[in-house]
Structure 1
Amino acid sequence: MKTRLVTLLLLLAFLIVPGRPEAAHPTHTFGWKGEHFLLDGKPFVIRGGEMHFSRIPREHWRDRLRMLKAMGLNTVGTYLFWNLHEPRPGEFDFSGRNDIAEFVRIARQEGLWVIIRPGPYSCAEWEFGGFPSWLLKTPDMRVRTSDPRYVAAVTRYLHEVGRQLAPLQVTQGGPIVMVQVENEYGSFGSDHGYMRSVRDALRQAGFDVTLYTADGATPKMLGGGTLPDVLPVINFGDDPAGNFEAFARFRGNVPQMAGEYYPGWFDHWGDEHHTGNIENIQRDIGWMLERDISFSLYMFHGGTTFGFMNGANYSDKEPYQPDTSSYDYGAPLDEAGRPTPAYHALRELIGRHLQPGETLPAVPEPPPMIAIPRFTLRQSAPLDALLANPTAAVRPLSMEELDQSYGFVWYRARLPIQGKTTLEVGDVRDMALIYQGGKPLGTLDRRKGQRSIELDVAAGQPVDLLVENMGRINYGPRMVDERKGLLGPVRFGGKPVLDWEMYRLPLDDLSRVRFIEGDRDSPAFHRGTFTLASSGDSYIDMRGWGRGHVWINGHHLGRFWQIGPQQALLVPAEWLRRGRNEIVVLELESNRQRSVQGLTEPVYATAATLPATGTH
């Protein structure tokens, strides 16, 4: 009896040893022949949906994957964002919400196949398209080219990705069936040598499954972004018949797949909120299902771009278009993980096209939502109280030159003359609030192409420019030199402004903020507390505030801005706790509001449609 007990205890100890190799899983084969994908030698149709594990709290990964499978999808696709995994050169982070290997293992447990999109470029309305900002510290380095310094950094990163994920390929008992080479490169360039270097780095990293490229279905995009020995797929948001006809003219006798099919779209600050059209989605997905054409919904579930990680775009009309923190995307599963009418419509549609032996799981219960009664933030602290240890230079330095990735830089200099005249800058990236002696003098807004402003300055006091990085451009040729901060030269009344002091404000640690009872003029932090008897997801209602950022219990939820469309920030249940909770709001532009509440539904509106809200 004693021997049996010892044996049992030893067995239990073995089972719980940290780092013990997982039990063996059956291996599979996946590839393609002619116009069909083949799984274990049999034709297979990918019914995929995209969700980004970095936009979802780790505690919600399994719930979201179960929702994906219950809609009838069999594959999940996800990006990796390089800037999260290598925040500093050679320092890698695959822990917590960055633990892609655990996300893939959960997908396997839930009976899903996985498509990995490691970049190095992701786009995805993510800061700098996923590139780490330290690439821009080298003045003449060009991302997405054959620049050997850039290619060396890419190779190092992809090899680390391989260490995390190569053991989880179908060939080794994992669920990973395909890996993407770069991303929509034909929309950017046509350097096939560069594309080959990314392909080779992936192979050297241990990826032996099917590699593929994804591009729009135009001759230019397909010609620039594909490689002869890599499977191409196409991205589009409507007209599958026309897109696949164009694709067939480029390359035939390969599987047809919509690598990204868009059921919705993303939002820019100051624009209208986007929603999808259910009838169009049903028509296009139905067309592909009837023809056994593979697809992946971009997005199935968008989630949230927490913290400073939103990207930006530009257009002929607007030089800069920062993205909102919400990445709801009009997706079938909304930002909080709840099924929408599009979810149920697609589930019914896919249910009519299941393979023999397939059944749809029941739809899981959506996550609970809670409303938080309105409460007042009664403590404040000025932002400039954090100013310390300035960097001095003759000219203003960019954020990258200051070894800073995100947040703010406070620039200070004495102007060469006094009185009323024009301040001119090389560029402002992306919003500058201008002060003298704490008095606001004006704003330079990159969205409006503003590079000059008339100021009336007094003698004897320096002028301050608080410059915020509102998200690096993530798409198009302008992203290659998307440095942040105040870019010179700077002139006042035609005379150069020299000898600057620069204060770094990354705001990645608020422990130095000292709050006291009472109010402070913007820019300032405001703090309040609230008590919860039970927890759930909630939307923090920021209507009545101006522009800034919100932290809950130390977690950076993202940005708010009265111009809309987003007016409330999602706070996941896992970041709330029973009992006392703390909220900190950085208000940059307005003093009207000092209270917040939690809602069970998001709020989308533009400044023009919002009712006036007084101070509470």
Structure 2
Amino acid sequence: MKKFSRIAVSLFFLFLLVTLQVEAQNKHAFNIKDGHFMYDGKPIQIISGEMHYNRIPHQYWKHRMKMLKAMGLNTVATYVFWNMHEVEPGKWDFSGDKNLREYIKIAAEEGLHVILRFGPYACAEWEFGGYPWWLQNVEGLELRRDNDQFLKYTDLYIKRLYQEVKDLLITNGGPIIMVQVENEFGSYVSQRKDIPLEEHRKYNAKIKEQLLKAGFNTPLFTSDGTWLFEGGSIEGVLPTANGENNVINLKKAVDKYNGGKGPYMVAEFYPGWLSHWAEPFPSVSASAIARTADNYLKNDVSFNLYMAHGGTNFGFTSGANYDNKHDIQPDLTSYDYDAPISEAGWVTPKYDSLRSVISRNVKWKLPPVPAPIPVIEIPSIKLTRVADVLSYLEKGNKVESDVPLTFEQLNQGYGYVLYSRRFNQPISGILDVSGLRDYAIVYVNGEKVGELNRYDKKYKMPINIPFNSTLQLLVENMGRINYGSEIVNNKKGIISPVKIDDMEMDGNWEMYKLPMDEAPDLEAFSHADVYSNKTLSTDALVGRPLVYEGTFSLTNVGDTFIDMSDWGKGIIFVNGKNLGRYWNVGPQQTLYVPGVWLKKGLNKILIFEQVNDHIRTEVRTIKTPILNQLKK
């Protein structure tokens, strides 16, 4: 027995030695040295593409990684959206399309390095720039500041994120080569002149320290326009540039803030651009992008295509911008971005141009381009039932208050709220909802009388409320602002008193929550509020918000696009998945349906139509998206 024990111990140590040797062989090194990015001791040029896991069904991640690799990229970059993971304080979700670990592991399997852009602020045309909406309910918390309450939550987020990815850092044998500190902070500094520059710098330095203390021991970098390095750079952290096409300017700026040497990287090289509802869909020339990429490659400038593949803002994840002309500019559901890889993962002329340029400048052979996901068309989906949402809501639970409450006060992040007030006496005049955030349909006794919206700064309209009548406003959150100084003013719903002829309508407000966090169940509606296809044409339903329901059978599944060009405004669920928002103003007129969300046999569609200017009995899908049909 003693001899057997000695043999077992010897075998164990032999196994351990072999395991350690294999791990040592598989472990790679990445660092910044002598003005270069170094991988296993040799200079490397990072040729990266931005692609966000949350914007792509997880079943397609491998396909999209192969698309990046075939374009000639050696790296994938992704933001981490805090609000997708900490859905409420202390409640974390890294499952399904939020499985960051799996996404990074697939990148490694496909031979791609990973750049992690954790935030805590992301921007990215994403709801609230990635911040959880509930942060606004924390007493004393101020976003993006040297504020104890805010930094307490960022520290918890960073530590939780480290638990998810610690073994995936390059220093621990994983593919993550770099981690970003904050994001475009120099831009924020330039807009918040009310905060001393020294305080801005203290905040940024504290985010860096939180990263280091958590264990993020890879090279760190910041990302700003070169003209904003003064406010966004951090001592000991590599500054990289956004949107800088001039190599000379890039090198001058980096040298100034990085001890007179490189490496040089454009962290956001824009092959396309973001797009808003009610505005033309932007486009960028393929030849111009190819020329810029060629210039980078020939001058040892690393770059990250933002976006290489945009994907989709499913559900309520799209954010918003703002300018002086519009109080809000809601982002489209599609995040196609005019990127080299389209929303549905297709090759574009821009892809072909970049692949050609990169192949001429690198020493490795590019793999073949993977085939696209199959596409199907469904000529007609019959809508056989509808449910009256106003009637349903007013029979449900209500919150009473003397004044309208915000979404945040109602503890609701997204979706809709119905605000209702009974008037015992008649009143007429100019209805003023200057505190509207962001879009409202106005009813009197259930009859539609108008629309208000923040995009057009349309906050006022004539109103006539008869004796013993009810004013109703169905208010939609169209996405919290994700960029700029207004990010700190992001409450939703109605945030100030409702007025008629400048008199505040206080008292007797009732609020009915409609978060639409799950697909509505028509079986939960009362029998009187659900109508069959035999009564769909009834005029009594026109102008009222409805949920349309239909089913369809498939023998083969594939990607498709629901054509909503004849509809008004709303959201769609297919087999329980929220595809996102449609709005007939355009330019987007279709919603992308990933084939992995369909199934052979019976499928269900639910359409929440807010405007409902006429009754519909069917909807169809098409094989090609419509993203540039502006109707406004």
Do the two structures share a fold, i.e. TM-score over 0.5? Answer: yes
Structure 2 CA distance for aligned equivalents of residues 579 and 585 of structure 1 = 20
Counterpart of 2:69 in structure 1 is: 69
Compare 321-330 and 426-435 and name the one that shifted more.
Answer: 426-435
Compare 485-494 and 317-326 and name the one that shifted more.
Answer: 485-494
Counterpart of 1:404 in structure 2 is: 412
1:489-568 paired onto structure 2 within 5 Å: 489-499=497-507, 500-514=509-523, 515-518=530-533, 519=536, 520-521=541-542, 522-568=544-590
1:431-442 paired onto structure 2 within 5 Å: 431-442=439-450
Counterpart of 1:362 in structure 2 is: 368
Task: Give 1:511 deviation, angstroms.
Answer: 4.5
Deviations 1:494-513 (A, max 9, x none): 33212211111101123543
Counterpart of 1:352 in structure 2 is: 360
Counterpart of 2:88 in structure 1 is: 88
Counterpart of 2:297 in structure 1 is: 289
The residue type equivalent to 1:198 in the other structure is I
CA contact (8 A) 2:569 2:583 kept: yes
Is 1:430 the equivalent of 2:430? no
Counterpart of 2:150 in structure 1 is: 150
Deviations 1:421-456 (A, max 9, x none): 122234100001111111112122101223322201
Structure 1 CA distance for aligned equivalents of residues 251 and 403 of structure 2 = 53
CA contact (8 A) 2:239 2:257 kept: no
Is 1:197 the equivalent of 2:206? yes
Structure 1 CA distance for aligned equivalents of residues 37 and 588 of structure 2 = 41
Counterpart of 1:382 in structure 2 is: 388
Is 1:314 the equivalent of 2:329? no
Compare 337-346 and 189-198 and name the one that shifted more.
Answer: 189-198
Counterpart of 2:311 in structure 1 is: 303
CA contact (8 A) 1:268 1:321 kept: yes
CA contact (8 A) 2:121 2:183 kept: yes
Compare 152-161 and 200-209 and name the one that shifted more.
Answer: 200-209
Structure 1 CA distance for aligned equivalents of residues 463 and 138 of structure 2 = 34
Structure 1 CA distance for aligned equivalents of residues 51 and 551 of structure 2 = 33
The residue type equivalent to 1:413 in the other structure is R
Structure 2 CA distance for aligned equivalents of residues 545 and 495 of structure 1 = 36
What SS does the aligned partner of 2:208 have? helix
What SS does the aligned partner of 1:280 have? helix
Counterpart of 1:4 in structure 2 is: none
TM-score where L is the length of structure 2: 0.90
Compare 297-306 and 513-522 and name the one that shifted more.
Answer: 513-522
Task: Give 1:375 deviation, angstroms.
Answer: 2.5
Task: Give 1:568 deviation, angstroms.
Answer: 0.5
1:583-594 paired onto structure 2 within 5 Å: 583-592=605-614, 593-594=616-617
The residue type equivalent to 1:517 in the other structure is S
CA contact (8 A) 1:313 1:473 kept: yes
CA contact (8 A) 2:382 2:618 kept: yes
Deviations 1:191-227 (A, max 9, x none): 1111112111111221110011000110xx2111110
Is 1:579 the equivalent of 2:601? yes
Unaligned runs of 5+ in 2: 1-21, 190-196, 524-529
Structure 1 CA distance for aligned equivalents of residues 268 and 104 of structure 2 = 20
TM-score where L is the length of structure 1: 0.92
Structure 1 CA distance for aligned equivalents of residues 74 and 630 of structure 2 = 41
Structure 1 CA distance for aligned equivalents of residues 251 and 475 of structure 2 = 46
Counterpart of 2:132 in structure 1 is: 132
Structure 1 CA distance for aligned equivalents of residues 487 and 249 of structure 2 = 30
Structure 1 residues 476 and 309: alpha-carbon distance in aligned structure 2, compared to 1, 3 A threshold: same
Counterpart of 2:229 in structure 1 is: 222
Unaligned runs of 5+ in 1: 1-22, 610-616
What SS does the aligned partner of 1:465 have? strand
The residue type equivalent to 1:307 in the other structure is G
Structure 2 CA distance for aligned equivalents of residues 270 and 104 of structure 1 = 36
Counterpart of 2:218 in structure 1 is: 209
Deviations 1:37-67 (A, max 9, x none): 1111110100000000000000000000011
Q: Percent identity?
A: 41
Is 1:175 the equivalent of 2:175? yes
Is 1:602 the equivalent of 2:625? yes
Is 1:394 the equivalent of 2:376? no
What SS does the aligned partner of 1:478 have? helix
Is 1:187 the equivalent of 2:194? no
What SS does the aligned partner of 2:152 have? helix
Structure 1 CA distance for aligned equivalents of residues 176 and 53 of structure 2 = 15
CA contact (8 A) 1:83 1:132 kept: yes
The residue type equivalent to 1:382 in the other structure is D
What SS does the aligned partner of 1:603 have? coil
Task: Give 1:238 deviation, angstroms.
Answer: 3.8
Structure 2 CA distance for aligned equivalents of residues 600 and 125 of structure 1 = 26
Is 1:569 the equivalent of 2:591? yes
CA contact (8 A) 2:562 2:620 kept: yes
The residue type equivalent to 2:209 in the other structure is D
Deviations 1:259-318 (A, max 9, x none): 010000121001111222111101110000001110000000000010011000011222
1:103-142 paired onto structure 2 within 5 Å: 103-138=103-138, 140-142=140-142
Of Structure 1 and Structure 2, the greater helix share is in: 2
Compare 134-143 and 396-405 and name the one that shifted more.
Answer: 134-143
Is 1:262 the equivalent of 2:284? no
CA contact (8 A) 1:416 1:496 kept: no
Structure 2 CA distance for aligned equivalents of residues 193 and 396 of structure 1 = 38
Counterpart of 1:448 in structure 2 is: 456
Structure 2 CA distance for aligned equivalents of residues 559 and 243 of structure 1 = 39
Compare 438-447 and 386-395 and name the one that shifted more.
Answer: 386-395
Structure 1 CA distance for aligned equivalents of residues 87 and 376 of structure 2 = 34
CA contact (8 A) 2:241 2:266 kept: yes
Structure 1 CA distance for aligned equivalents of residues 39 and 467 of structure 2 = 75
Task: Give 1:490 deviation, angstroms.
Answer: 1.9
Structure 1 residues 277 and 416: alpha-carbon distance in aligned structure 2, compared to 1, 3 A threshold: farther
Deviations 1:515-546 (A, max 9, x none): 44143433110011111110111111111001
Structure 1 CA distance for aligned equivalents of residues 581 and 167 of structure 2 = 38
CA contact (8 A) 1:271 1:606 kept: no
Count residues with an aligned counterpart. 583
